[in-house]
Amino acid sequence: MSEWRNETANDLADAGRRLASLVEKVSGEPSVEQLRSIWRAYLEIEKSIAFIKFELDEENPGVFVKLKPYGVPDERQALQFALRNLKKGAESFRLGDFRQALRELREGRNYLRALLREKRLLRSRKARSS
């Protein structure tokens, strides 16, 4: 297996472990440490997406995703959706179906992106009100 594939497989496995642990532990508002772990999983998935896009010679600059469909009111549920898509994407990646892996990993990443965006907006609203 090539170096980028090993690195990507390791990143996806680490992101999966992080999300699985978070699904078990997050109840309500994530702690600062838990948010950092969500960010780390997000970054590992985003990096993997970039590597796969490079391998496929697929780039879609300027394409924006509407996050509203990914906004889930319960943090644990958002993490579960992200983890489910990450697992599917990691399996597709392992099987060499990079296009399918890309779709599934993007889905998982979008749940994390929506969750992190909501937490950032909440923090900024609190900062303005105090």
Query: Can you tell me whether residue 68 is helix, strand or coil?
Result: helix
8 Å CB contact between 85 and 107: yes
Distance between CA atoms of residues 96 and 104, nearest Å: 13
Query: If pLDDT is split at 50, 70 and 90, which confidence band does 123 have?
Result: confident
Task: Give which of 17, 22, 7, 12 is closest to 119, Cα–Cα.
Answer: 22
Q: Give the pLDDT score at 28.
A: 82
pLDDT in tens, 56-77: 987 765 566 777 777 777 899 9
Q: Is-contact 115 38, C-beta < 8 A?
A: yes
Q: Which ranges of the chain would DSSP assign to H, the alpha helix? A: 3-25, 32-56, 75-94, 98-129
State how far Cα 19 lies from the chain centre: 9
| Per-residue confidence (pLDDT) for residue 70, from 0 to 100 | 75
DSSP state of 69: G
What single letter denotes the amino acid at residue 69?
A: P
Residue 2 DSSP SS3: coil
Using a 10 angstrom Cβ sphere, with 0-12 exposed, 13-18 middle and 19 or more buried, the burial of residue 123 is exposed
Do 50 and 34 form a contact (C-beta atoms < 8 A)? no
pTM recorded for the entire structure: 0.88
